[in-house]
Amino acid sequence: MPTNQEIATTLRRVAAVFEVIDSDFFRTRAYQNAANAIENLTISAYDLFEQKKLTEIPGVGPNIANHLDELFVKGKSSHFEREMKRVPAGMFGLLGVRGIGPKIAYRLSKKFHLRFEKTAKNDLLKLIKENKLTGMEGFGDKLIAKLKTSIDNQFNKKVRMLQSEAYPIADKLISYLKAIPLVKTAQPLGSIRRRLSTVGDIDIAICTNSPSNVMPEVLKYPEISKVISQGEAVTRIKLKSGHEVDLKIGRVRQWGSLLQHYTGSKLHNISLRTFAATKSLSLSEHGIKNVKNNKIYLAKDEKEFYKKLNLPYIPPELREGEEEIEWAKENHIPNLVEISDIKGDLHLHTSFDFPTSHDLGVSSVREMLKTAHQLGYQYLGLSDHNPKFNDLSVSQKKKILDKRKLWIRSEKQEYEKTVKSNKIKILIGLEIDIRKDGELALQEELLKDLDYAIVSIHSSFDLSKDENTTRIIKALSHPKASILGHPTGRLINQRDSIKADWLRIIDFCKAQGKILEVNASPQRLDLPDDLVKLAIRSGVKICINSDSHDVNQMANLLSGVYVARRGWATKNNVVNTFSFTDLLKMLK
DNA sequence: GCCGTTTTCGGCCCGACTGTTTTCAGTCG
């Protein structure tokens, strides 16, 4: 079945046809809106089709829904196919290259008979080298050179970077900017500020009342390799590291409007402007314009901006154009969980040396307690991997686990000699593999000695949706299995999420009081935010853990807090904000 | 083609930047 992404691509292609052939701007936009909505769905459009709920997707009306029905039933839609045949297929191969939109793609593919999507980029490159574009109306030397560069870049296209990669780059540049005398402040925008798990471009806002004096200073930043484009309000630079950064300049009095505009998301802004239009207001980075008298209201911060629209402040993590504006109108924006609410970390790997199924940690319990103290925690859960399942006898494993327990206790006693107060509680658990058949990789008699268990998939990732669902539910059925660790198993940009029926798993967790982990390891961030939202709406609790193998990683838990916030979590949804007594009840 | 506590008809988010022109088209976010 076509994925949401594939459907969105098809709809965009049909939209492009309407744009270049029919110049039907609004029909074009209707298709683009539908594409955006489907791309941002948290469940598959196919599932909605099965439930006959396609028209509940905002932007999908009866016509597009009918075409999608046909697409799902027959594997293709005659309408989409027919529309796309009106242009040379090479046009679709050119779309997506930076600087090539529908109009240019159409003109080039038609003039040079680019009939194949797959070879279109190469064909165009060849035409450029043979100077075949020279002399075409509207194609000057600069534009042709730009197209060549864009296609070259496409061939070594980069994947979206991790938030943990992008943030430090932005942070370093921001420190530099803040040190410039006329700069009032600076801050990241876009997906960095909304704390998405991955980031495309790095956007930064600079607040100053003297843009013309400040910009030359900004461009002295030693990491810049070249200035890609420069205008009064926006400058795009490339860093020596290869990262591209957009710098937006805003004045103090319009700072709120600027931040709001460039924080996005695009869909949030579109929804917000549609809402503003009902109040005869028009929104832009410059302010809020009353279209009746053309008066512009300047917002110095975002609170003022939203207040002018009669809305409460909407945290950046929620600005995805889903239902946050509806909720804001009702004044129902939740108080999202914060890092200061976190009272402990339940997924930590110690340096206790024994034959585990996976990697050991490198830090002692003593070091972890010291770090926990600095982080203001009240409890820790130690969850080394289970002992090797096949290579050791049950009695050997028991010996190992008993020895581990003694070591943990002695480490704790040693640590407590060094501090006056603040006794941090310790839970002795394990992270246990979920085997292919859903059995836990630890024998029953050893399980009962644990305070709690995190159960996780570390193998057989490629099972079917049904097999994985059954396997996870079976594993969670054990009374000690309180937490499902890094549930989807994804490694961002490296390994896809496992296939599973998350609605069924969430229902099971709700019924049985099981907890879903939000693993804060930067390449995991798992549960992903969209599933966090589904889980929380269903009343399932989450636990935000760092999965540290080194005390230096314990502060990573903050990244998990951002994922939880993007999933609309309040502290009541997160078990490791609870008191130790209440936590124990949840782990039961 | 979609949508509706102004509307089932008549609207549909808003602006920056580049390049090619000389007032605008195309693309991007």
**A422: helix, coil or strand?**
coil
* A465-512 residue pLDDT tens: 999 999 999 999 999 999 999 999 999 988 999 999 999 999 999 999
Spatial contact of A481 and A453, defined as CB atoms under 8 Å apart? yes
Residue at A512: amino acid letter? Q
From residue A96, alpha-carbon distances to A91, A99, A126, A296, A490 in Å are: 10, 8, 18, 36, 26
Residue A272: half-sphere exposure toward Cβ, Cα within 13 Å:
31
Which nt has its C1' nearest the CA of A101? B27
Which nt has its C1' nearest the CA of A105? B26
* A6-15 residue pLDDT tens: 999 999 999 9
In which region does residue A52 sit, left (phi positive, over 0), alpha (psi from -120 to 50) or beta (all else)? left
Residue A157: pLDDT over 80 = no
DSSP string, A296-358: EE--SSHHHHHHHTT-----GGG-SSSSHHHHHHTT----B--GGG--EEEEE-----S-BSS
Neighbour order of strands in the sheet with A344-348? A344-348, A379-385, A425-433, A452-456, A481-484, A515-519, A542-545
Residues contacting A410, CB < 8 A, separation 6+:
none
Domains of chain A: 4-155 (1.10.150.110), 161-250 (3.30.460.10), 255-329 (3.30.210.10), 339-587 (3.20.20.140)
Residue at A547: amino acid letter? D
The answer to whether some atom of strand B lies closer than 7 Å to the beta carbon of A289 is yes
Spatial contact of A309 and A303, defined as CB atoms under 8 Å apart? no
**Nearest residue by alpha-carbon distance to C1' of B24:** A138
Mean pLDDT for all residues in chain A: 94
The answer to whether some atom of strand B lies closer than 7 Å to the beta carbon of A274 is yes
From residue A256, alpha-carbon distances to A40, A262, A546 in Å are: 26, 10, 34
The answer to whether some atom of strand B lies closer than 7 Å to the beta carbon of A574 is no
Spatial contact of A413 and A424, defined as CB atoms under 8 Å apart? no
The span from the CA of A540 to the CA of A211, in Å, is: 49
Which nt has its C1' nearest the CA of A67? B1
Spatial contact of A542 and A535, defined as CB atoms under 8 Å apart? yes
Rounded, the Å distance between the CA of A430 and C1' of B2 is: 53
The answer to whether some atom of strand B lies closer than 7 Å to the beta carbon of A137 is yes
Structure confidence at residue A174 as a pLDDT band (50, 70, 90): very high
Residue at A345: amino acid letter? D
Residue A43: pLDDT over 90 = no
**Nearest residue by alpha-carbon distance to C1' of B29:** A266
- Stretch A238-266: mean pLDDT: 93
The span from the CA of A506 to the CA of A468, in Å, is: 14
The answer to whether some atom of strand B lies closer than 7 Å to the beta carbon of A140 is yes
Structure confidence at residue A420 as a pLDDT band (50, 70, 90): confident
Spatial contact of A161 and A199, defined as CB atoms under 8 Å apart? yes
Distance spanning both ends of chain A, measured CA to CA: 41
- Stretch A52-58: mean pLDDT: 92
DSSP string, A549-583: SSGGGGGGHHHHHHHHHHTT-BGGGBGGGS-HHHH
The answer to whether some atom of strand B lies closer than 7 Å to the beta carbon of A59 is yes
The span from the CA of A517 to the CA of A387, in Å, is: 22
The answer to whether some atom of strand B lies closer than 7 Å to the beta carbon of A139 is yes
Q: What pLDDT sits at residue A220?
A: 95
Which nt has its C1' nearest the CA of A274? B13
* A559-572 residue pLDDT tens: 999 999 999 999 99
Q: What pLDDT sits at residue A1?
A: 85
More confident residue, A365 or A278: A365
Spatial contact of A407 and A426, defined as CB atoms under 8 Å apart? no
Spatial contact of A105 and A95, defined as CB atoms under 8 Å apart? yes
Q: Which of residues 231-270 of A touch strand B (CB under 7 A)?
A: 231-235, 264, 266, 269-270
The answer to whether some atom of strand B lies closer than 7 Å to the beta carbon of A58 is yes
* A374-414 residue pLDDT tens: 999 999 999 999 998 887 888 999 999 999 999 999 999 99
Structure confidence at residue A423 as a pLDDT band (50, 70, 90): confident
Q: Which nucleotides of B are covered by protein (CB under 7 A)?
A: 1-3, 6-7, 11-21, 25-29
* A367-378 residue pLDDT tens: 999 999 999 999
Per-residue three-class SS string for A129-196: HCCCCCCCCCCCHHHHHHHHHHHHHHHCCCCCEEHHHHHHHHHHHHHHHHCCCCEEEEEECHHHHCCC
Q: Which of residues 421-480 of A touch strand B (CB under 7 A)?
A: none
pTM over 0.85: yes
Rounded, the Å distance between the CA of A262 and C1' of B15 is: 12
The answer to whether some atom of strand B lies closer than 7 Å to the beta carbon of A229 is yes
* Sign of the Cα pseudo-torsion (A45, A49, A51, A54, in order): positive
* A62-119 residue pLDDT tens: 999 999 999 999 999 999 999 999 999 999 999 989 899 999 999 999 999 999 999 9
Structure confidence at residue A579 as a pLDDT band (50, 70, 90): very high
